[in-house]
Amino acid sequence: MRHRVLTAAAAGAAAMVVLTAPAAHAEGRGDIRVIKTVVDHGTNVIVGTKKAIEFPIVMTIRDNSGVKKVSRVGALNTANGWGPSDAFDTRCEKKSATTSVCTATLLIDPTSIRSSVVGDPDWNANQVAGWWRVDATVHANDGDYWISDGIARFKVKRASVLTTDAGPEPVAKGGTLTVKGKLTRASWQSLKYGGYAGQPVQLQFKKAGSTKWNTVKTATTNSSGGLSAKVTATAAGSWRWFFPGTTTTAQVASAADAVVLK
C-alpha cells in the first residue's frame, strides 16, 4: 500500500460526527483521552475542482490533571493512506478543570490532490474520495499523552452538479412532458466536471402551491451523465432531478423547472 501526503488543500463541506468508542489504534500513558470528535459540524467534505476550503475538527479531550495541548492532528483515506498534511492551526478552550475542547483546521485542495499523482500511471487522484479517518496526539498537564489513529471517520466526496429542463412549456393538460437533465461530478484528475454514468436519479414533482417534492420515477444516467424521462402533465408545478449520492460523490438536487398548463 502506498502512503502519500497532500501538502495543503481543502474544499468543501465536511464530514461526519463519530466516536466515543476506543480508537482503532492507540498508545500512550495515563488517562488522557479524546472522548468526542466532530468533523466539520457533522457533514461530508465536498471537494470541487478549484476552490480550497478549510474545515474544522473539534475534539473534546479529558484528563484528571487537565489538558495541556494537542501536538498533532491529521486525516487520511482509510483505504490507501492519502490525506492532507497535519492541521495548520489548533486551538484549545478550557471547559473545566479536566476537560478542554480543541479545534484543529485542515485543508483539502483539489489542485494539490492532482499534483500529488502527476506522472504516476498507477494512481488516479479520484481515489482520494471515500472514507477518511482522523488521527491525533494529545497531552495532559501531568505528562500523560495519547497517540490515537482513528478518533473519527468521515467522508470526502467529489462535488456534483445536476440540471433539469422540462418541455414543452406550456404543456396541455394530459399531454406528454419530457424532462431532461445531466449529472456531472468533479474529477480531481482533470480538474474538470464530467458525466457520471450508470447512476439512478429520481425525477421529482412539486405541485404549484405545495412545498413537498414527490418522486415520480427513477431514471439511469447514460454514458455522458444524461437523463430523459417522459411523464403525463396532470397539474401545473415544478420538476427537478434528485441524486442521493454515493460514498464518493455528493448528493445533489437540480434547480426546479416550473411548467404551466395551457
The whole-model pTM stands at: 0.87
Angle at 129 between CA 200 and CA 20, to 5 degrees: 105
Same domain? For 151 and 192 the reply is no
CA-wise closest residue to 150 among 168, 132, 138, 133: 133
Same domain? For 93 and 222 the reply is no
In total, how many domains does the chain have? Answer: 2
Same domain? For 99 and 206 the reply is no
Same domain? For 138 and 205 the reply is no
pLDDT of res. 7: 36
pLDDT tier at 233, thresholds 50, 70, 90: very high
pLDDT of res. 120: 83
Return the percentage of the chain with pLDDT > 90, whole number.
Answer: 82
- The b/e string for 150-178 (b: 16+ C-beta within 10 A; e otherwise) is bbbbbbbbbbbbbbbbbeeeebeeeeebe
- Domain range for 48: 5-158
Specify the CATH number for the domain of residue 209: 2.60.40.730
CA distance 42 to 64: 28
Same domain? For 141 and 20 the reply is yes
The CA-atom distances, in angstroms, between 92 and each of 5, 84, 256 are 25, 21, 44
Q: For residues 174 and 223, is the Cβ–Cβ distance under 8 A?
A: no
